[in-house]
Amino acid sequence: MTSAEMEEEFLILYDKITNFDAPGYLSDEISRFLTKAQERLVLHIMNPLGNKYVTGFEYTEKRRKDLSELVRNSTLTSADVSANQIGVKPNGTFFDLPSDFLYTLDEEVLTSSTNACFDANRIEVKPITHNEYTKNKRNPFKKPDENLVWRMDFSKATSTGPKRHELITSDDYTVDTYYIRYMRRPQPIISDTSTIEGVVGPLNCELDAITHRSIIDEAVAIAAGITTPELWQLKRSEASLSE
């Protein structure tokens, strides 16, 4: 569906749910409802607790297809090393992530070293918590080695800057290239010439077409919840267990 078609279906369903007895919404407002609903759907699918099988988004083909248009690759090099390295851990480096980054799906690094045994190896990156770092940083069997790099999340250098990852290596090498496959943020759904999140419409939904009516349902739930929440509560409870 185009964004205009999604708006039209939104209006039909919204009027039906409210029996034509609720305030109408402008195209700009409907676009914002659709955009918010799309964001909720993405987060719901990504969350293992967001479906009745308690599985992640890649567990079924349907869930993989729902978000497949948001999967991207990025190759980060020395040009993507953060200019601000304040607070970095020993053998650590902050890398700036793509501006549309949402969640990491897979990551590896290519090493660089003067020692031929450690140079140009493509090795695994393991996400860890700060608590795990504290517990294992001196453990020779768990800390980074020639086959493993640690990764921790860290704050932006500035409020408007990109998200950052901290990669921690062993003493034997540094990171030459950081390969990351990630889920990016979806663009807004805009049915007119409004501007949402700095993007000017019209703009169609990027997700697989099979998700469009779920997005519309959620958008109507958001809109109806403002005026008549009791009419939509049961349907939303049922929808949360539908996958």
- Exposed e or buried b for every residue in 174-212, given b needs 16+ CB within 10 A? bbbbbebebbbebbbbbbeebebeeeebbbbbebeeebb
Task: Name the burial class of residue 19, with classes exposed (0-12), middle (13-18) and buried (19+) by CB atoms within 10 angstroms of its CB.
Answer: exposed
Q: Which residue has the higher pLDDT, 55 or 19?
A: 19
Spatial neighbors of 47 by CB under 8 A, at least 6 apart, are none
- Give the torsion through C-alpha atoms of 227, 230, 235, 236, to 10 deg: 70
The model's pLDDT over 86-122, given as tens digits with 9 standing for 90+, comes to: 999 999 999 999 999 999 999 999 999 999 999 999 9
pLDDT, one tens digit per residue, over 133-183 is 999 999 999 999 999 999 999 999 999 999 999 999 999 999 999 999 999
The torsion defined by the Cα of 64, 29, 235 and 212, in degrees rounded to 10, comes to -30
CB 18 within 8 Å of CB 12: no
Report strand pairing: 71-76 vs 92-96: unpaired
pTM for the model: 0.85
